[in-house]
Chains A and B, each alone.
Chain A
Amino acid sequence: MKVRFRFTKQGKVRWTSHRDVARMWERALRRAVIPVAYSEGFSPRPKISFGLALPTGAESVAEYLDVELAVGPEEAGGPAGLAGALSPMLPEGMDVTAVAPTGPGEPSLQHDVVACRWEIGIPSDVGIDQPEGLEEAVAEVLAAEEIVVTRERKGQPVTDDIRPSILALSALSGPERSVVTLTGPGRVLGVELATVGRGLRPAELLTHLGVDPAGVRTVRTHQWIERDGARREPIPAGATDAPPVERQAS
């Protein structure tokens, strides 16, 4: 029986890699004594699969993971029980926020997600090497029919039109800035980027906008899949949300 988890990756733990996160989950599942199904063969591995890798250093409130259980989900504690058992076993900043069973025919997250939404906080002291400034650069991107850039893919330079991958882009102000926190003055971009085809990474967009990607704070806020012509998150709305977990502050 497969169960899908949504979880966060915020704070210091964001400096760990995708592989590190996979290991944290393997250990957390064992610590919480969740009966996970294992592969056969000489080196049995727990059957868990992750969605699209989050770049090291980026935060997220919308990470997903599928776990194949060796028992039914109710036997494993049910969605609320699973979340409650796992969050304390994960490092600070990683919390389970939703759990739902997934059907056997459900495609893997890697193949299913078509787009991600990001919020990118750009502190004022991160130089914009665009003479006309960030707002103009954003307007230019939105107005462009095509944006041809050369970037690296698997160590090879490739030339692509990245414009179709930019599904939405805007400067956010006030209440729309829901997730990203900036300690000082700065601006926040809300952006939706396609993940199908060659896709576009937030850092590549920032480079095109003339912003140093190393100076920003990036948060993945949503991942989207398509079902019957409509978009939804990989755990459908209305599925059990995990209870908030009490944690001691550091």
Chain B
Amino acid sequence: MTTLWPRLEPLLARVQKPARYIGCEDGAYVAPWSSSRVAWLLAYPDAYEVGLPNQGLQILYEILNDSPDALAERTYAPWPDMEALMRERRIPLFSVDNHRAAGEFDVLAFNLSAELVYTNVLNCIDLAGAPVRAEARDESHPLIAAGGHCTFNPEPLADYVDFFVIGDGEEAVSEANAVIRDWKASGRNPGTRPGVLRELSHVPGVYVPSMYEAAYDGPRLVGVTPRYSDVPEVVEKRTVADLAQWDYPRRQLVPLTEVVHDRLNVEIFRGCTRGCRFCQAGMITRPVRERPAEQVRRMVSEGLARTGYDEVALTSLSSADYSGIDSVVEGIIDDPACSGQVSVSLPSLRVDAFTVGIASQIQKVRRTGLTFAPEGGTWRIRQVINKLIREEDLYGAVESAFSQGWSRVKLYFLTGLPTETDEDTLGIGELARNCVAVGRQHGRASVTASVGGFVPKPQTPFQWFGQDTVGELRRKVDLLRDSTRKDKGVTLRWHDPRASLAEGLASRGDRRVGRVIEHVWRAGGIFQEWTEYFNLSLWEEAMAAEGLSFDWYVHRDRDPDEVLAWDHISAGLHRDFLWGDWQDALAAAGVPDCRWTPCYDCGACTGYGLEHVVASAVAPAGGSQGTNQDLSSGHIVPVRLVGRRAPAPAAVV
């Protein structure tokens, strides 16, 4: 085993945050390196402090290291200061576990959680010493793999990545490993790379882009079709049916230095059928699979004892929907082993489930920031996006929060949504103002409205929608800024519309967009999801150089019969379900949650012989969407708030 540490260490005094590169996390494996084990280097193509907490990567890290014929180490994108020193001294990309060179691994596997990291993926492949284009790699180079939510449109990276794992990776990774193990055992002989890739294409859920041909008619994509009859026409995602069998991570990594989400994270369920139409994560992870409460309790108490953390997040796409969430939270907080010092956070809290009960539970120990995501400014637009949160639910949640001692609340919104009018945009300011008014009843109150430009995502009902231009998004933000300028207590934040444009391109691009990404990378455009490094002109130059148009890829409404770049990748959702849902959206018609109402046959369960795994047949309290509330009342603003800035009595909780 060779370690690059003696060459790396002298660089550390010359870079920011040197602890990014030392590893040493509690929970890290020191796996024995052996020729009979496939060596995986799991890469998160962003800074260490962003990538380390990624649960998907940690789960695979443990599964592979627990397997007798695999081992896994981790790497993260070196920050530009470190990269410059590495390139100057010809030091390749390295693992943080044992500081081994990336080129010594059999597989370099990326987690793709955001599209703007794509240029970092190419940079990491290059730093690993391999050609960035798959066609130029041979048996001496690692196989390049990718998984994660972005792989539901893998096409922009199709010419750069050897194989993608679509959907849950828990089972697929071991099946892929078996194929690669045999290849490794046979000596990775010259000329055998296409063969191992062909074998991999037979593993369910694995997509090998080089086994497919993309055909075009002018700008229009005609199809992406298999080159061989033994390669599947459509790659179906993998779904783990029973989360209880996968109680990972068992040894969550505890970093020595500060990272995002620096706490114990326990996934309480996967999937979400609230049916928010803009939400790719919700659409591609159906159906809902809850972890048994007993296992959640055990993972929390063992995890806290092992890590020493004093905060645990119960993670999912909508944590308050978990059956019996109150008693789980209560159980953790009242556990004597936690001696009253452990705080519980529930990311992705829905306002319609945020009650005084939950508020008082989670603030018992310490009060962290509270974020709600109404997403749309008016009831009409919330019906369009199917985020069926009534105004009174929002005020009720905010009332609960302020009455329990919070003084600051953050609200997330999207702008640039389908059918959006200026009234919808201005509604964002109106909601924020009313929340401040509710909060003033309880003393100081400030509300931050965070506004992101909407980027339509593949495998969602909005995949056909033409994204707003940078100019239009700017106009809307300006409109909103002018209207809230005089409001004390309302702070407006917005996402750079130019970054939304680049994200939109990478989200719904086809293989030709891959060349644009390569162009941006070659021009030095890395860390594009970081404001200080994002540079739209690099993307514009690259588009011009490749003769492609933003209008075609980003701003155009797609035709109903058009071939989409990701049509050969299936999240289980029937096309007619998605199209029907898109038509419902245009008609501003909301649909209830299928967990508690009859199935719409979207395909996610029916196609795979799955079912929701939910411990309770009853919807959570306080709710909307399939919980039999009267949807016609959503626009009704609690009477006492209408036409008054302040003071206003609280809404009904």
User: Which residues of A are in contact with B by a Cβ distance under 8 Å?
Assistant: 12-13, 15-17, 19-20, 23-24, 26-31, 38, 42-44, 56-57, 89, 91-92, 183, 213-215, 250
Contact = CB atoms under 8 A, between A and B. Distances in A.
B24 A13 contact: yes
A183 B6 CA distance: 10
Contacts, number: 67
Given A31-B307, A38-B341, A12 B23 contact: yes
Given A57-B18, A213-B13, 8 more contacts: A13-B24, A15-B22, A19-B258, A26-B310, A31-B308, A38-B341, A214-B13, A250-B30
Contact of A20 (B10, B19, B21, B305): B19
Contacts of B577: none
B367 interface: yes
B308 A28 contact: yes
A57 B12 contact: yes
Nearest to A41: B366
A43 B341 CA distance: 10
Contacts of B523: none
Contacts of B26: 91
B254 interface: yes
B364 to A, nearest CB: 10
Contact of B14 (A26, A31, A183, A214): A214
A191 B309 CA distance: 39
Given A31-B307, A215-B13, A24 B256 contact: yes
A44 B18 contact: no
Contact of B22 (A12, A24, A89): A12
A27 B308 contact: yes
Given A17-B19, A44-B341, A91 B308 contact: no
A42 B367 contact: yes
B257 A43 contact: no
Contacts of A23: 258
A91 B19 contact: no
Interface in B62-119: none
B6 A43 contact: no
A88 to B, nearest CB: 11
Interface string B17-46: 011011110100010000000000000000
Interface string B590-607: 000000000000000000
A13 B256 contact: yes
B556 interface: no
Nearest to A38: B341
A16 B14 contact: no
Nearest to B21: A15
19 contacts: A15-B22, A16-B19, A16-B256, A17-B19, A20-B257, A30-B304, A30-B341, A31-B305, A31-B306, A31-B307, A42-B367, A43-B367, A56-B19, A57-B18, A91-B26, A183-B6, A214-B13, A214-B14, A250-B30
A81 B597 CA distance: 59
A27 B19 CA distance: 18
A20 B258 contact: yes
A56 B17 CA distance: 9
Majority DSSP secondary structure for residues of B touching A? loop
Contacts of B22: 12-13, 15-16
Given A13-B24, A20-B257, A27-B254, A89 B308 contact: yes
B308 A30 contact: yes
Given A20-B257, A42-B366, A27 B23 contact: no
Question: Which has the most chain B C-beta neighbours within 10 Å: A15, A24, A29, A38?
Answer: A15
B24 A92 contact: yes
Contacts of B30: 250
A215 B9 CA distance: 10
A42 B308 CA distance: 21
A250 B97 CA distance: 11
A15 B13 CA distance: 8
Contact of A215 (B10, B21, B23, B366): B10
A23 B309 CA distance: 9
A38 B21 CA distance: 33
Contacts of B256: 13, 16, 20, 24, 91
B308 A26 contact: yes
Nearest to B10: A215
Nearest to A20: B257
B514 to A, nearest CB: 37
A235 to B, nearest CB: 24
A20 B20 CA distance: 12
Contacts of B310: 26, 30
A24 B308 CA distance: 9
Given A43-B366, A91-B256, A183-B6, A27 B13 contact: no
Contacts of A91: 24, 26, 256
Nearest to B99: A12
B415 to A, nearest CB: 35
A12 B99 CA distance: 12
Interface in B295-312: 304-310
A177 to B, nearest CB: 20
B367 A27 contact: no
Given A30-B308, A31-B307, A183-B6, A12 B13 contact: no
Pairs of residues from A and B, 8 with the lowest C-beta to C-beta distance, nearest first: A27-B308, A214-B13, A31-B308, A15-B18, A30-B308, A43-B366, A12-B22, A16-B19
